[in-house]
Amino acid sequence: MTATDIHRTIEAIFRIESAKLIGALTRILRDVGVAEELAQDAHLAAIERWPREGVPDNPGAWLMSTAKHRAIDLLRRSKMRQRKEDELTRELEAQLEQAAPKLEAEVDALDDQIGDDLLRLMFIACHPLLSTEARLALTLRLLGGLTTDEIARAFLVPEATVAQRIVRAKRTLAEARVEFEVPAGGELVERLGSVLQVIYLIFNEGYTATAGDDWSRPGLCEDAMRLGRVLAGLMPSEPEVHGLVALMELQASRLRARVGPDGAPVLLLDQNRAQWDHLLIGRGLAALERADKLAAARGPYALQAAIAACHARARAADQTDWEMIATHYGELADLVPSPVVQLNRAVAVGMAFGPQLGLELVEALADDPALQSYHLLPSVRGDLLHKLGRGAEARTEFERAAALTRNARERDLLLQRAATAVSH
């Protein structure tokens, strides 16, 4: 194995193992910032030693052992700093020497609690004390194993901005003395909602990038789905966790078909459904079934997954059950009132009952402040106007939508639709 191969192996292993390391170390030290630093120390130790000594048979255990010993050393130094006089320092050193086997044994016991540590780490990274941007960055850093540079490139922001968000997030958590535990009772519902929101925001940024030259970034979708699957394994009795996993799996099944050979977007009704990933569809439908068995009524993510399932079950675009989709959007709007949900319902109603009825619903949303800079409002209106044969008005709406979007691929698509609106 060449040095380059070893380096790639180290990076791949650390990305897989880093969340486990940080979770275990946070449990020892009660400080997620210090825990990440020690995990990085173990990473650097691997970079230094493995090219000379070879990759260990159990690299994850090697990293964990190295990180734990650094944690023990840090605890020793911390205890020593509490004593200033030489005599007390010597006494403490003697105590530590006697206690070291016990301390190491206690730390070794963490290997049996990896799942609990990962779950606690998720709730810390997605803590409501942090801004949405900070939660996204910290989750991808601590649980996704992404570097600061990778996060910055994924969200098209300067690396320094991401680094600052992460540093501030760690400082906020440390100053607030946030407990390293899974919340209980009523707090669990609120905090779990924050975790699910962060995971889905990561997925959505991958599925339809808000800015840049790429229509989608499948790598972010993969990161989000992996986090969702881990969470489902750790909280198997929570229906909305399975609902979110189902939603992501079903939507991700269309990723290959959403982009043409030249990278241009391909809209849902124009996609080649033979390119859809039927393994992901099967997994998504199974996750939705699990969610339904656990709850008397569907939550927001399970409802959205049910909508995605209507598309997944249709062998052709004209076989889509748009009436059922419109019904599900109505249920979703009752559960989570939102102008965006109402806009999506208008699309479904237009498909099920005709563009005129859909347009009437869209017009009722035209003055909603939350949608004034939302490019999909004029985009949907343009589509409905085009179907009604009002080409000039449709062109104006598509041009408005193009001016509002920050995604270059989507802008090109909208301008193309504007150019052809009158001729058809």
> Cβ contacts of residue 132 below 8 Å, gap of 6+?
197, 198, 201
Cα(366)–Cα(343) distance, integer angstroms: 10
CB 203 within 8 A of CB 248: yes
- Closest alpha carbon to 225 in 194, 204, 256, 254: 204
Tens-place pLDDT, residues 352-384: 999 999 999 999 999 999 999 999 999 999 999
Please state the pTM of the whole predicted model.
0.83
pLDDT in tens, 7-31: 889 999 998 899 999 999 998 888 9
Q: Answer whether residue 182 shows pLDDT above 50.
A: yes
| Angle, helices 132-142/159-175, rounded to nearest 10 degrees | 90
CA 124 centroid distance within chain: 15
Please tell me the predicted confidence (pLDDT) of residue 106: 46
| DSSP, res 406 | E
Note whether 72 and 107 are within 8 A (CB).
Answer: yes
212's enclosing H/E stretch is strand 211-212
